[in-house]
């Protein structure tokens, strides 16, 4: 993955899947070779989550969206962002949301954030704050990534993990 951030804002992202030889890229106000899918399910979403750093994300997702919600454990922040998009790689799983509830390094999410931003999507902290790629090397508050959904409504729907102790 490669990301260019300008003044803390992700502007260019590249995610390469070496085994499928697929590369996705997008630049804010500059084009892309990838696009959003035509539809997403906000009611009972398929949610991609970290396989190795899940925290309480499965419980939070089921509590928030109901028992019909599908949880997809996966490795790699880039892979999880690609799961939200329309990619030609047939082996790529498809999800409606990407939720992460534990600490995550900014270098691991910048490229995906830039691609989502270029396509009109969002990647924020779970409390809805934009992620700045300056200062600290990670974010404590987890993240929510979506595209073609009401992102702020999704943020409001999630429980306050700081207060509930679900981190």
Question: Which residues lie closer than 8 Å to 123 by C-beta, 6 or more apart?
Answer: 81, 98, 109, 112, 113, 116, 117, 131, 143, 144, 145
Please, what's the b/e burial string for 113-136 (b: 16 or more CB within 10 A of its CB; e: otherwise)?
bbbbbbbebbbbbbeeeebebeee
Please tell me the total number of residues recorded for the chain in this structure. Answer: 167
Count Cβ atoms below 10 Å from residue 161 Cβ, excluding itself: 19
Q: Tell me whether residue 108 is annotated as binding.
A: yes
Q: Which residues are annotated as a binding site for Mg(2+)?
A: 108
Known binding positions: 108
């Amino acid at each position: 993955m490669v990301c260019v951030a300008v003044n803390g804002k992700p502007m260019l992202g590249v995610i390469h899947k070496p085994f499928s030889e697929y590369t996705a890229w997008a630049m804010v106000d500059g084009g892309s070779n990838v696009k959003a899918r035509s539809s997403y399910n906000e009611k009972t979403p398929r949610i991609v989550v970290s396989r190795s750093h899940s925290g309480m994300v499965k419980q939070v997702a089921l509590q928030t969206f109901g028992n019909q919600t599908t949880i997809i454990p996966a490795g790699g922040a880039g892979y999880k962002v690609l799961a939200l998009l329309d990619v030609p790689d047939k082996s790529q799983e498809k999800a409606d949301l990407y939720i992460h509830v534990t600490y995550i390094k900014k270098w691991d999410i910048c490229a995906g954030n830039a691609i989502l931003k270029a396509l009109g999507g969002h990647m924020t902290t779970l409390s809805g704050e934009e992620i700045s790629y300056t200062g600290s090397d990670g974010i404590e508050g987890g993240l929510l990534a979506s595209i073609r959904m009401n992102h702020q409504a999704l943020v409001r729907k999630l429980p306050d993990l700081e207060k509930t102790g679900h981190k």
